[in-house]
Structure 1
Amino acid sequence: MPVNGGAAATPPLLAALIFLVALNLRPAIAGVGPVLARIGNDLDWGESVLGMLGAMPLWAFAAVSPLVRFVTKRFGANRTILIALLVLAVGDVLRSFGGPAWVWLGTFAVGAGIAAGNVLVPVIAKRDYAGHVAVATGIYSGCITAGSAIAGLTAAPLATQLGGWRPALAVWAVPPLVVAALWAIRVVFDERRNTGDGTALFLAPSPSSSMATTAASLTSDALPLWRRPMTWWVTLFMGLQSSAFYTMSNWLPSLSEAAGFTESQAGVQLFVFQSLGIFSGLLIPVLMHVRGNQICAALTASVPMVIAGFGWLSAPQYSLLWSVIGGVGQGASLVVALTLIALRGRNPQDTVALSGLAQSLGYLIASLGPLTFGSLAELSGGWVAPLTLFIAFAIGQCVVAVLAGKSRDGTA
């Protein structure tokens, strides 16, 4: 049976390659946090500069995500994924073996490759698994989280065994190259079947109809997207929850080591923080429509990060416990953020527009997390100031959760 129900559908084995692509969308970023101190010592960079390094992929996300549509129009979805995998691998190599300037350029390239995957993986999965969208979404989301958790767990041991942070990060150039080779088979197969790669299934069917539909959605029965308060609450929630995740993905290992844990133990705590998101993300949907809105789900997902922040500040010796609590919150928060985007759009075109705005600006907001955390750590010479700011952001997320969680008409 064709996977997507079409006459010339992609065979199941080739369609399933999208999940291998998803596995590659976080390791090159998640592997940096556990070796951040090694990078700083080697390049003589302080916490402020390291915070900028942690923010660089998020800046790439914000800059590149809106451009993916245009690249896809030119090359098609399948070939754009292939290009993204190659850019990711090349960026990882440049970052790992070049001088300081190449570290920055390579990190941006890594973020650019991942940004294209962030945009296209859900679209291709929905296209090829049209009859099983919920299952496909759960699988690729789990793959993204699993890839991140594995990289966080293995980064420090790899650095020890391979002789430094450079080869430890270079390892993550290999998986995207392998998947790119497999994905090339899919590209050739689809083109030989003369089916294209289904780009029209997620791009506008025609410029005129798309413009007319979008214009109608933004001017007929509602305010323009940018004039709706709900747009900004959803964007702010997306940014704050991403800020919490990427801040701790970069700085939790350093925070744990400062509390007396070994480098390997810190890596385990990061693994716990990231991997628990798989389970909480699967459970939070049961709360998504309590009393007809998403306030309960959004608050339930947001409060654990406040608890974890106070825990890391007041009792860092129990960092593993706070990693568990924070991990539960970050996984659930991501699912809530993506669900809010889907629910607040008034039609498919409106939802695409909202998603682009919320994710582009959201990643810009998120980049403030690792950047300010590192700067405050360097300026204050400790972790109290950055953790205090982290808690303030987490409390802010709880406030925004109530506002973004209201139903689309603004009722609680």
Structure 2
Amino acid sequence: MLENKQVARNQKIFLMAGIVLVAVNLRMPLTAVSPLLDYIRESMPISNTLAGFLTTLPLIAFALISPFVSKISQKTGVEKLVFYTLLMILLGSIIRPIGNLTFLLVGTLFIGIGIAFGNVIIPSLIKKEFPFQLGMMTGIYSISMNLFAAIASGLSVPIATQLSGNWQATLFIWAGFVAVALLIWLPQLSTKRAQLEQTHVVEQSQTGNVWHSKMAWQIAAMMGIQSAVFYISVAFLPVMVQEQGFSSAEGGFMLSLMQFGIMPITFIVPIIAFKMKNQRALVLFSAIMMVLGILGLLLPIQNLAVLAVAIVCLGIGSGTSFSLCMMFFNLRTNTAKEAADMSGMAQSIGYLLAACGPILFGILHDWLGSFMVPLIILLLALGVFCICGMGAARNKTIFDA
């Protein structure tokens, strides 16, 4: 009996390590690119519109793939699907830096497809395997994503500089993390797959259609707006900082700073949210922080320290809103199957909305020569975020609301 408990404990530890390493690679391949755009432009012509499309392309993949992940997981098994997820991200990470614009776009698309699977399946896996540690595990999952996203965005330019501007080699270095995650996940392929598949089938008959739930649509709207804020920042924050008179290195540092502002919040908020009767106070807090951050970018701030405070506020607000969306997938559902369906639906609609952000920013900037108008549009969108968030934060499930 004690031996069986020890085996089960070890399996949980290895599963937790696997989830962390998967999470590491769900944002890092995207945040590593935007600070390198100056180096990429030296080897191939890329406008601001195309630069925005590099960020939008994965979001389109998220929107198109997410609704089908839950059904695919029932056929392949969760462990195999996570393995295929990492394999797709690795393939895209190898193709992307080859040095041709076509390879850059195709590799980015493959990475987006892989991340789309991981985005949906990991929260439902956490609900299934860690039902009494949802807050802690969601926090660990979130902080792992954002920590390495920050590391990649902050170190990409210094690494490329040390490599004489070789952005391809820089991206290959980050691809190494995917290979490590793939190796660590291999033992999971022989663990509990049949059990999870059977559980998914049983749960399927007990759940309704998330597309018919008003609360599910509110969560999806939250997901879309917070994702738009995040991915617009990933694509253009370094450029916006440079337009205020700072260097490209300082622009990359600000993106990294935003990520570090996100990190502690993404760990703390899920734990707090799990203990709250409703999460409306957290919704309001996140909206206020994002508004302060965008106002800091909108105003002509010439002081780097003041701008840094605004960027940290943006990171705190973005991290809080992201954590709330991740928690709502589990707090507003009853089973792992519902969580997967909810996650797939919300991320599909959410990322479809978010995909419009970076490309619209690029087009408006190229047309108007300024980020003022798109930033004002973001402020208006945050009002919608707050309204939807208040509905999603009620202490109900998606089929009870």
Q: TM-score, normalising length from structure 2? A: 0.87
1:315 match: secondary structure: coil
1:328 CA drift (Å): 0.7
Q: What does residue range 9-408 of structure 1 map to in structure 2 within 5 Å? A: 10=11, 12-13=13-14, 15-125=16-126, 129=130, 132-162=133-163, 163-184=165-186, 186-187=187-188, 191=190, 196-198=191-193, 200-201=195-196, 203=197, 205=199, 207=201, 209-214=202-207, 218=208, 225-284=210-269, 288=273, 292-317=277-302, 318-345=306-333, 349-408=337-396
Q: Separation in 2 of the partners of 1:62 and 1:85?
A: 19
1:123 CA drift (Å): 4.2
Q: Which amino acid aligns with 2:206?
A: T
1:294 CA drift (Å): 2.5
Q: Which amino acid aligns with 1:213?
A: Q
2:141 match: secondary structure: helix
Q: Separation in 2 of the partners of 1:340 and 1:135?
A: 14
Q: Separation in 2 of the partners of 1:51 and 1:73?
A: 35
CA shift in 2, pair 1:109/1:264, >3 Å = same
1:330 CA drift (Å): 0.6
Larger RCO: 1 or 2 (CA < 8 Å, sep 6+): 2
Seq. identity, %:
29
Kept in 2, the 8 Å contact 1:26–1:144? The answer is yes
Structure 2: tracts of 5 or more residues without a match: none
1:276 CA drift (Å): 1.7
Range moving further from structure 2, 71-80 or 81-90: 71-80
Q: Which amino acid aligns with 2:245?
A: G
CA shift in 2, pair 1:4/1:138, >3 Å = farther
Q: Separation in 2 of the partners of 1:406 and 1:260?
A: 44
1:176 CA drift (Å): 0.9
1:382 match: secondary structure: coil
CA RMSD of aligned residues (A): 3.1
CA shift in 2, pair 1:235/1:129, >3 Å = closer
1:135 CA drift (Å): 3.1
Q: Separation in 2 of the partners of 1:92 and 1:347?
A: 34
Length, aligned pairs only: 395
CA shift in 2, pair 1:373/1:179, >3 Å = same
Structure 1: tracts of 5 or more residues without a match: 219-223
Q: TM-score, normalising length from structure 1? A: 0.85
1:95 CA drift (Å): 1.2
Report Cα offsets for 1:208-247 as digits up to 9, x if no partner: x445312xxx3xxxxx643433222221011101111111
